[in-house]
């Protein structure tokens, strides 16, 4: 009986420790989704565009965390909208290339 109680307490501790770490946004490790240069609307446009692409074309976990992101404050800002498109394109292509490389490594040469 003592062994069962010890196991139950250990399992409870492990489960509760898992709740201590908040889940961060599930971005790919090698992909920069945020920039540290440029004006605020430039940085926000890139981040929103990139994370929108992750929400549309990422894995299931990324699709759950991200969605279409467009900051209404910059609705008419040309820089924000252009950089949003650039961020979307860059992150979409990054995901495409990663998926291509994974398929190639699993199946050998595709052509």
Q: How many domains does the chain have?
A: 1
How does residue 21 score in pLDDT terms, banded at 50, 70 and 90?
Answer: very low
pTM score of the predicted model:
0.64
How does residue 29 score in pLDDT terms, banded at 50, 70 and 90?
Answer: low
Percent of the chain scoring above 70 in pLDDT: 71
| Structural domain includes residue 14 | no
How does residue 65 score in pLDDT terms, banded at 50, 70 and 90?
Answer: confident
Mean pLDDT value across residues 24-53: 81
In this predicted model, which residue has the larger pLDDT, 67 or 19? Answer: 67
Alpha helix (H) residue ranges in the chain = 2-18, 40-57, 60-65, 78-107
| Structural domain includes residue 10 | no
Task: Give the torsion sign (CA, 40, 82, 91, 63).
Answer: positive
- Is it the case that residue 86 has pLDDT exceeding 90? yes
Nearest to 24 by CA among 51, 53, 56, 57: 51
| Structural domain includes residue 40 | yes
Residue ranges making up the domain that contains 95: 31-107
So what's the pLDDT on residue 7?
Answer: 83
What mean pLDDT is reported for the chain?
A: 78
What is d(CA 40, CA 92) in angstroms, rounded to the nearest whole number?
22
Contacts of 67 (CB under 8 A, 6+ apart): 52, 55
Q: How many CB atoms lie within 10 A of CB 25?
A: 11
| Structural domain includes residue 24 | no
């Amino acid at each position: 009986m003592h062994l069962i109680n010890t196991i139950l307490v250990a399992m409870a501790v492990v489960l509760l420790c898992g709740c201590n770490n908040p889940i961060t946004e599930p971005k790919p490790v090698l992909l920069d989704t945020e920039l540290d240069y440029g004006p605020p609307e430039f940085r926000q446009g890139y981040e929103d565009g990139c994370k929108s692409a992750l929400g549309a074309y990422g894995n299931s976990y990324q699709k759950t965390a991200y969605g279409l992101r467009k900051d209404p404050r910059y609705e008419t800002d040309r820089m924000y909208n252009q950089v949003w498109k650039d961020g979307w394109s860059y992150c979409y292509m990054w995901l495409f290339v990663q998926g291509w490389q994974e398929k190639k490594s699993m199946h050998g040469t595709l052509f």
